[in-house]
Amino acid sequence: GENVEQHPSTLSVQEGDSAVIKCTYSDSASNYFPWYKQELGKRPQLIIDIRSNVGEKKDQRIAVTLNKTAKHFSLHITETQPEDSAVYFCAASTVNTGRRALTFGSGTRLQVQP
Amino acid sequence: GAGVSQTPSNKVTEKGKYVELRCDPISGHTALYWYRQSLGQGPEFLIYFQGTGAADDSGLPNDRFFAVRPEGSVSTLKIQRTERGDSAVYLCASSPSPGGPSDTQYFGPGTRLTVL
């Protein structure tokens, strides 16, 4: 089955700096890669996603890049703010056909220092 | 509109007891998923429903775990003979019809299960 690895496990940045979180996946059939933000005691919330037919997607301060050949994808947050502090999870799945369930990485705890 | 809801928000039970956890998906969403999240970990898949049927139950850890969705909307996750290792947050998610414009899974707030 699919295996998703995520690095780093913790990340501390100064407000205004950029943050990058990286994930690798094992199943070449995976074609959908969402990123979720989870604040303490709250539900995971989708912040951005990308499909395998696209190499990059951007939404304001957040961007995701995908390298299908190398089977890795990354989350980029620019101009970080204290409210970006949370745990971020990457995930992978095969939509439309095959296993639709998400396989999650182990999470990255991002702390933005004011 | 209303998001995914789950009840109860917290459940404390004793080892060996039976528990039921309920999920109300977003109206109109045909796909429903159950995940389990242990402290400091990412959610782990348990079971996926498309309509009333379980399309993929490969994540259920053993036969003590069972889930139903009899009318294609509300789902109940049932755990028999609970063990301390079952303690976790149980998350439910729903998504629109497969093959549609969105594959986003929307999560509920979870049920925190504690087995004493």
A99, B44: Cβ pair inside 8 Å?
Answer: no
Owner of token pair 């049932």: B78
B108, A43: Cβ pair inside 8 Å?
Answer: yes
Q: Measured between alpha carbons, how far is B93 from A62 in angstroms, rounded to an integer?
A: 23
B41, A42: Cβ pair inside 8 Å?
Answer: no
Q: Measured between alpha carbons, how far is B42 from A103 in angstroms, rounded to an integer?
A: 9
CB of A12 within 8 Å of a chain B CB? The answer is: no
CA nearest to B55 within chain A: A99
- B70 to chain A nearest CA, in Å? 20
Map chain B to HEC letters.
CCCCEEECCEEEECCCCCEEEEEECCCCCCEEEEEEECCCCCCEEEEEEECCEEEECCCCCCCCEEEECCCCCCEEEEECCCCHHHCEEEEEEEECCCCCCCCCCEECCCEEEEEC
What pLDDT is attached to residue B26? 95
Out of B56, B108, B109, whose CB is closest to A101?
B56
Q: Measured between alpha carbons, how far is A4 from B1 in angstroms, rounded to an integer?
A: 32
pLDDT tens digits for A49-91?
A: 999 888 999 999 999 999 999 999 999 999 999 999 999 999 9
Greater confidence, A94 or A6?
Answer: A6
CA nearest to B5 within chain A: A43
Q: What is the mean pLDDT of residues A22-48?
A: 95
Out of A93, A99, A106, whose CB is closest to B41?
A106
pLDDT tens digits for B35-81?
A: 999 999 999 999 999 999 998 999 999 999 999 999 999 999 999 99
CB of A81 within 8 Å of a chain B CB? The answer is: no
Closest CA relative to residue A43, chosen from B39, B92, B109, B43: B109
pLDDT tens digits for B5-32?
A: 999 999 999 999 999 999 999 999 999 9
pLDDT tops 80 at residue B100: no
A102, B31: Cβ pair inside 8 Å?
Answer: no
Interface test with B, best of A2, A102, A106, A109 (most B CBs within 10 A): A102
Contact between B72 and B55 under an 8 Å Cβ cutoff? The reply is no
Contact between A42 and A106 under an 8 Å Cβ cutoff? The reply is no
